[in-house]
């Protein structure tokens, strides 16, 4: 057989789909994560269309382009009905206005709204990412010069005569002093006592309950 219990990794996982479907009406919609094969069939898709999709055939439910991960059917709940917007996340005024619109939209009962705020990361994604293997330093500097959020906002408020260059410099000086003070304070603050490291992991820890890896008695027996 082309599809048997050994080749079908979603085999034996369908009690969830069947049980849920038993409580739904034909007009209801649902959304699932991985392992949606069973849900696809219980929602009305033919077994042939599902298996054809797994085999990469044009007759599959996603025309053979979705495979095991992307089953589609009209009675799945889709996100295409959610209003969305793309905005410049480097412009604080644009973000403010878009958020104001989104809030008014949502609180008025029109449903959710999705905002994609496009930003630019100056540094690497993590300490192991230098951030220069997939882009040039010139690219980063170009964005800093033309789209930096702080510089752009300063330019806007000074051109609108809402603030002078001298006032901007005074604000920068004050903010730097406050941040430097807080940074120094945070480094000199006391560390938590060792015995409190594993507190706040549970709402109410049962007496004598050992959390593996969080207690020396559960880590293993020391060798003499």
Cα 204 to chain centroid, rounded: 30
d(CA 64, CA 139): 39
pLDDT in tens, 25-83: 777 777 766 667 777 877 888 889 888 887 888 888 888 777 777 676 665 555 567 88
Q: Which of 88, 98, 144, 94 is nearest to 119 (CA)?
A: 88
Cα dihedral 175, 92, 80, 105 sign: positive
What is the predicted pLDDT for the residue at 108? 94
Check residues 36 and 189 and name the one with the higher pLDDT: 189
pLDDT, mean of residues 89-114: 88
Q: Is the pLDDT of residue 5 over 50?
A: no
Confidence of residue 219 (pLDDT cuts 50, 70, 90): very low
Q: Are 62 and 69 in contact (CB under 8 A)?
A: no
Mean pLDDT over the full length of the chain: 79
Distances (CA, A) of 45 to 32, 63, 92, 104, 211: 15, 13, 47, 39, 45
What is the predicted pLDDT for the residue at 172? 94
């Amino acid at each position: 057989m082309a599809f048997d219990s050994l080749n079908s990794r979603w085999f034996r996982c369908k009690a969830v789909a069947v049980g849920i479907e038993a409580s739904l009406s034909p007009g209801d919609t649902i959304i699932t994560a991985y392992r949606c094969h069973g849900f696809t069939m219980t929602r009305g898709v033919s077994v042939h269309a599902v298996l054809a999709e797994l085999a990469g055939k044009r007759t599959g439910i996603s025309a053979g382009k979705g495979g095991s991960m992307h089953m589609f059917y009209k009675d799945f709940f889709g996100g295409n009905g959610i209003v969305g917007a793309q905005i410049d996340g480097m412009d604080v005024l644009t973000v403010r206005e878009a958020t104001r619109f989104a809030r008014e939209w949502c609180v008025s009962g029109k449903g959710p709204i999705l905002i994609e705020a496009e930003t630019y990361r100056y540094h690497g994604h993590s300490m192991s990412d230098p951030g220069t293997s997939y882009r040039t330093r010139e690219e980063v500097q170009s964005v800093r010069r033309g789209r930096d959020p702080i510089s752009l906002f300063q330019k806007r408020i000074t051109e609108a005569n809402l603030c002078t260059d001298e006032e901007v410099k005074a604000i920068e000086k004050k903010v730097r002093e406050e941040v430097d003070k807080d940074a120094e304070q945070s480094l000199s603050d006391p560390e938590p006592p060792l015995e409190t490291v594993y507190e706040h992991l549970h709402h109410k820890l049962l007496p004598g309950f050992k959390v593996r890896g969080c207690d020396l008695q559960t880590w293993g027996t020391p060798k003499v």
